[in-house]
Structure formats: structure tokens, C-alpha cells
């Protein structure tokens, strides 16, 4: 019996700095309905989907920073999305800025949750690879202050098997944006048997300091990261952008669904709210996992120690 899951990438167009959560959540709900109409039973939304990508702004007032964070999930603004998910029987990945008290201390993370088709939160991931910088850089026309506003995620890269035939009883994993560029992200989930990686991203089309890659090359790097991750770990990936001109900064689109072969199954054509969907045959993952990338048969961990014992590169003299 084939294990199939129909999944949708729900790409968002811009969210302006003062766009209320209720307005944003309505956009997410509209896309969830459209995805359901396409047969999808799982929706992937972008990173920090509930607000603009606020790390582009330097805010000295932490009370203002905290207006972009959620202290409860679901909260009043997001409860309608969970209610719709339960009504339609659709699970979802949602990226958001999480503020939480642990052992009496407040922490802020760039977080994603996995919600099942009964609208129950069954998984959480906190972004490990935080790009950018932690202090205001006056040379930049816009900032990238993830290292200022978020702590490094403390949950590792887990995987979850959702025991739901409508979801193909899939082994799922999550990551967020910059994580996709690091092979370690994919391999840890690969070692945990991942079959479907869900990820949201907010990637500017241009480098704030000029130079760097042009938009076309950035789109190429986005798909390259997903294609390599999928091929080398025998999994599918759904990568979903927040795109378009957001408060004066052009954010790239390029949302796509990638197969274990590394082939792009479907991708968005616009930079706005757009739903793409595909039916994934999860048993296809087994070809990679049992032949080329049969980890048990072919990996030689006795030679890999440096990957976790050393951070920076040390080239020979
Ligand atoms: N954004 C970007 C990303 O990794 C970036 C940062 C852009 C890094 C381009 C390198 C090159 O897609 C987030 N939010 O991580």
C-alpha cells in the first residue's frame, strides 16, 4: 500500500511592519482553504509568518521588539487558524517568533511548530543557524539582526512520525531558512529517518552591503540547498518563502517542493500569496535510503569526527 501525502507550500507575499496579526492570519486561512481544495492535508507556511521579517530593523526598545513575538501558541490571533485546521482536517507547519519563560528566565527563539490534522501541536523546532549580526550596522540600508533578537535553538533537529494514513504515516522534520544551507541540518534529520522536511524562509533578493549574489543566483542557491539535502538523505522537502517587496526590501520567492531524486516537482511563479501542491509517494524515499545512501552500509563515521569536534576551518600552512 503506497504511503502518499498531498502537501501544499503556502507562499506569502509581503507583510508590512504594521499589518495586524488578524489580517495576516486571514491570509493564511485563505491559503489553507485553497490548499485543502487542491487535496492537500498538510500546509507549510513561511518563517516568521505572522509578522514582517522584523530582524531587518534595529529596535533599541525591547518592548517594541516584543510586539513581534508570540507568548502563547495558539493565542487569540492564531486560534482561528487552528480551528480551521481542525475543521478541514489539515495539518500545518508555522514559523513564528517565540517568547517563552523557561525556569523563570525569558527566552526568544525563531521557532516553527508542526500541528497535526486535529490542530494539536505535535512538534517544535527552534532555528539553530542564525545568520546576520547582533549589533546595529550603520553601513547597511537594512539590518539582519537575528543574532540580536533570537537565541540559538535548543531542541536540535528532531523528527516525528505522524501516525496518520492521510499523512502517509510520514517521518517529518523541520528547519528554518538559513538552516537549509548547512548539510549538517539535513544529515542529522537523515540519521533520524526523515522522509519530509518542511521549512520556511525569508531571504532578501540582494545583499544589504551590495555585491554578493544576484537574485537569480540566490534563487539557484535556495533550490540547490534543498535538492542536495533531499538527494543525500532520501527525503522530500517543501521550502516556502515570504516574498515580494516588504517594507522596501525585496524578498525572493522560489518556493518549491523537491523529491528525493533532487528534482523540483513544482515551484511558485509569483512573489505573492501563492499555493503550490504535490502528492508525495513516501516509499520513493526508500530507493535512496536502501542503495546509494544506505547509511548503515556505506558511512564511515570513524573519519567524520572533525565535523562535531571542530567549528572553524583550519587549512594547512
Ligand atoms: N535569511 C537568509 C537565508 O539564509 C542569507 C540569510 C541570505 C544568508 C543570503 C546567506 C545568503 O536565506 C534567513 N532568514 O536566514
Full DSSP string of the chain: ---EEEEEEEEB----TT--HHHHHHHHHHHHHHHHHTT-SEEE--TTTTS--GGGS--S-HHHHGGG-BSSSS-TTTHHHHHHHHHHT-EEEEEEEEEEEETTEEEEEEEEEEE-TTS-EEEEEE-----S-SS--TT-SS---HHHH-PPPSS-S-EEE---GGGTT-EEEEEEGGGGG-HHHHHHHHTTT-SEEEEEE--BSS-TTS-S--HHHHHHHHHHHHHHHHHHHT-EEEEEEB-EEETTEEE----EEE-TTS-EEEE--SSSSEEEEEEEEGGGHHHHHHTTT-HHHH--GGG-THHHH--S-----
Q: What is the pLDDT of residue 1?
A: 82
Q: Report the residue among 55, 110, 125, 131 best suited for mutation to probe ligand 1: largest number of ligand atoms under 8 A from its CB.
A: 131
| Å from CA of 54 to ligand 1 middle | 14
Question: Which residue among the candidates 43, 70, 127, 274 is catalytic per the annotation?
Answer: 127
Question: Which residue among the candidates 10, 47, 175, 195 is catalytic per the annotation?
Answer: 47
| Å from CA of 119 to ligand 1 middle | 30
Give the residues surrounding ligand 1 with Cβ less than 6 Å away: 131, 177-178, 181, 201-203, 218
For residue 265 the three cell numbers come to 516537482
Q: Kindly report the pTM of this predicted structure.
A: 0.98
Q: Whose CA is nearest to atom 9 of ligand 1?
A: 203
Question: Which residue among the candidates 10, 43, 177, 285 is catalytic per the annotation?
Answer: 177
Q: What is the pLDDT of residue 210?
A: 87
Q: What is the pLDDT of residue 212?
A: 85
Q: Whose CA is nearest to atom 1 of ligand 1?
A: 203
Q: Domains in the chain, please, with CATH?
A: 4-309 (3.60.110.10)
Q: Work out which ligand 1 atom sits closest to the CA atom of 129.
A: 15
Pairwise CA distance, residues 42 & 5, whole Å: 8
Q: Whose CA is nearest to atom 3 of ligand 1?
A: 178
Residue keyed to cell 527525503: 235
Q: Whose CA is nearest to atom 12 of ligand 1?
A: 203
Q: What is the pLDDT of residue 174?
A: 99
Q: Work out which ligand 1 atom sits closest to the CA atom of 181.
A: 4
Q: Work out which ligand 1 atom sits closest to the CA atom of 202.
A: 14
Q: Report the residue among 132, 150, 203, 229 best suited for mutation to probe ligand 1: largest number of ligand atoms under 8 A from its CB.
A: 203
3-state secondary structure 214-250: CHHHHHHHHHHHHHHHHHHHCCEEEEEEECEEECCEE
| Å from CA of 91 to ligand 1 middle | 27
Active site residue 127: yes
Please give the average pLDDT of every successive group of 10 residues along the chain, which has 317 residues: 96 96 98 98 98 98 98 98 98 99 97 98 98 97 98 98 98 98 98 98 95 94 98 98 97 98 98 98 98 98 98 98
Active site residue 256: no
| Å from CA of 205 to ligand 1 middle | 9
Q: What is the pLDDT of residue 231?
A: 98
Active site residue 177: yes
| pLDDT tens digit sequence for 84-143 | 999 999 999 999 999 999 999 999 999 999 999 999 999 999 999 999 999 999 999 999
Q: Work out which ligand 1 atom sits closest to the CA atom of 207.
A: 9
Least Cα distance to 34 among 96, 93, 74, 88 occurs for 88
Q: Work out which ligand 1 atom sits closest to the CA atom of 176.
A: 15
Amino acid at each position: 500500500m503506497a504511503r502518499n501525502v498531498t502537501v501544499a507550500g503556502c507562499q506569502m507575499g509581503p507583510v508590512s511592519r504594521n499589518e495586524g496579526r488578524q489580517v495576516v492570519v486571514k491570509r493564511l486561512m485563505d491559503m489553507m482553504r485553497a490548499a485543502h481544495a487542491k487535496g492537500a492535508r498538510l500546509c507549510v507556511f513561511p518563517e516568521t509568518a505572522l509578522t514582517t521579517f522584523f530582524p531587518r530593523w534595529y529596535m533599541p526598545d525591547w518592548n517594541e521588539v516584543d510586539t513581534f513575538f508570540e507568548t502563547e501558541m495558539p493565542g487569540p490571533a492564531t486560534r482561528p487558524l487552528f480551528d480551521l485546521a481542525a475543521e478541514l482536517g489539515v495539518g500545518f507547519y508555522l514559523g513564528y517568533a517565540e517568547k517563552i519563560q523557561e525556569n523563570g528566565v525569558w527566552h526568544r527563539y525563531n521557532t516553527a511548530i508542526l500541528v497535526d490534522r486535529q490542530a494539536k501541536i505535535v512538534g517544535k523546532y527552534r532555528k539553530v543557524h542564525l545568520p546576520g549580526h547582533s549589533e546595529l550596522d550603520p553601513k547597511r540600508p537594512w539590518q539582519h539582526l537575528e543574532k540580536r533578537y533570537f537565541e540559538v535553538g535548543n531542541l536540535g533537529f528532531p523528527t516525528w512520525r505522524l501516525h496518520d494514513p492521510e499523512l502517509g504515516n510520514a517521518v517529518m522534520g523541520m528547519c528554518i531558512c538559513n538552516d537549509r544551507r548547512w548539510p549538517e541540518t539535513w544529515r542529522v534529520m537523515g540519521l533520524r529517518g526523515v522522509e519530509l522536511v518542511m521549512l520556511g524562509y525569508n531571504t532578501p533578493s540582494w545583499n544589504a552591503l551590495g555585491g554578493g549574489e544576484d537574485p537569480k543566483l540566490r534563487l539557484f542557491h535556495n533550490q540547490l540547498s534543498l535538492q542536495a539535502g533531499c538527494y543525500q538523505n532520501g527525503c522530500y522537502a517543501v521550502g516556502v518563502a515570504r516574498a515580494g517587496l516588504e517594507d522596501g526590501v525585496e524578498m525572493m520567492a522560489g518556493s518549491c517542493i523537491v523529491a528525493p531524486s533532487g528534482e523540483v516537482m513544482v515551484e511558485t511563479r509569483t512573489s505573492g500569496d501563492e499555493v503550490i501542491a504535490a502528492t508525495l509517494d513516501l516509499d520513493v524515499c526508500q530507493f535512496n535510503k536502501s542503495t546509494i545512501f544506505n547509511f548503515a552500509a556505506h558511512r564511515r563515521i570513524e573519519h567524520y569526527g572533525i565535523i562535531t569536534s571542530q567549528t572553524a576551518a583550519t587549512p594547512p600552512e
